[in-house]
Amino acid sequence: MEAPAYAPSLRLLHWLIALLVLSVWPLGFMIKFVRDEVKLDFYMLHESLGFIVLWLMLVRIGARLSKGAPQGLTTGIEHYVATAVHVLLYLFLIVMPVTGFLATNAHGFPLQWFGLFRVWSPIDKAPEIAPVFSMIHEWSSWILLALFALHIAGVIFHHVIRRDGTLYRIL
For the whole model, what pTM was predicted? 0.92
Residue 141 resides in a domain: yes
Cα 137 to Cα 25, 47, 113, 132: the distances in Å are 11, 12, 19, 9
- Within 10 Å of residue 113's Cβ, how many Cβ atoms? 15
Report pLDDT for 1: 52
> pLDDT band at 136, cuts 50/70/90?
very high
Report pLDDT for 126: 97
- Within 10 Å of residue 21's Cβ, how many Cβ atoms? 22
Q: Does residue 35 have a pLDDT over 80? A: yes
Note whether 97 and 50 are within 8 A (CB): yes
CATH number of the domain that residue 159 is part of? 1.20.950
Residue 3 resides in a domain: no
Residue 1 resides in a domain: no
What is the domain range of residue 165? Answer: 8-169
How many domains are contained in the chain?
1
8: which residues sit within 8 A by CB, 6+ positions away? none
> What are the start-end ranges of the H helices in 31-157?
36-67, 76-106, 130-156
> pLDDT band at 2, cuts 50/70/90?
low
